[in-house]
């Protein structure tokens, strides 16, 4: 298979002979249409799959300890069922794809408590009303979102918008009034 040859060539170029020595792997610009089986790389931490032609995303064969995943500039329409096991991700680039379904996308990423940087711009979901505040609410650990730092004021507005009842109760408690 051509993908296996690309992987082997890439590793040889870096002087890597054993799969256990692979912690970074670049498969960018390889005209891939799907994510190859990478289960043999147990210590893989950074993976570049950007600038390919990936449509369907299936990352079940990727080590759950992956910390950086670059999937930008592909044709991905959904991440449903593909990334939720990657709970150690700190950086996720998914910009310039065809991802639809904001709620479904946020549900997929809900377990990623280490996620610090995320990019979803240039996707259909980025045009949803209240998109930025919704993502900030769903991914509270994110510090840089779509290339911009998340400000405390945005976090407050996000909480007010998406947790209206909790916000109302907190406001009454803060001023020693009982919520009715």
Pair of tokens at residue 135 = 């993502």
pLDDT in tens, the chain (180 residues): 577 887 887 788 878 888 888 999 999 999 999 999 999 999 999 999 999 999 988 877 888 899 999 999 999 999 999 999 999 999 999 999 999 999 999 999 999 999 999 999 999 999 999 999 999 999 999 999 999 999 999 999 998 886 645 544 545 555 555 555
Domain over 23-149 is classified CATH 3.10.20.30: no
Pair of tokens at residue 97 = 């794809």
List the strands of the sheet with 46-48, edge to edge. 24-26, 46-48, 68-70, 91-93, 117-119, 144-145, 148-149
What phi and psi values does residue 72 have, to the nearest 5 degrees?
A: -70, 160
Q: State the pTM of this model.
A: 0.86
In angstroms, the CA 48 to CA 15 distance is 18
């Amino acid at each position: 298979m051509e993908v296996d040859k690309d992987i082997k060539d890439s590793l040889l170029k870096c002087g890597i002979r054993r799969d256990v020595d692979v912690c970074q792997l670049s498969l960018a610009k390889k005209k891939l249409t799907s994510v190859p089986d990478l289960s043999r790389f147990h210590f893989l931490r950074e993976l570049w799959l950007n600038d390919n032609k990936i449509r369907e995303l299936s990352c079940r064969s990727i080590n759950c300890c992956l910390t950086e995943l670059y999937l930008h500039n592909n044709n991905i329409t959904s991440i449903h069922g593909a990334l939720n096991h990657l709970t150690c991700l700190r950086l996720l680039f998914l910009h310039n794809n065809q991802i639809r379904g904001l709620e479904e996308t946020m549900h997929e990423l809900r377990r990623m408590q280490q996620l610090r940087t995320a990019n979803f711009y240039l996707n259909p979901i980025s045009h949803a009303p209240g998109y930025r505040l919704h993502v900030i609410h769903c991914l509270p650990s994110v510090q840089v979102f779509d290339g911009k730092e998340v400000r405390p004021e945005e976090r407050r507005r996000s909480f007010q918008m998406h947790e209206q009842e909790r916000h109302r109760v907190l406001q009454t408690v803060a001023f020693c009034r009982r919520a009715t």
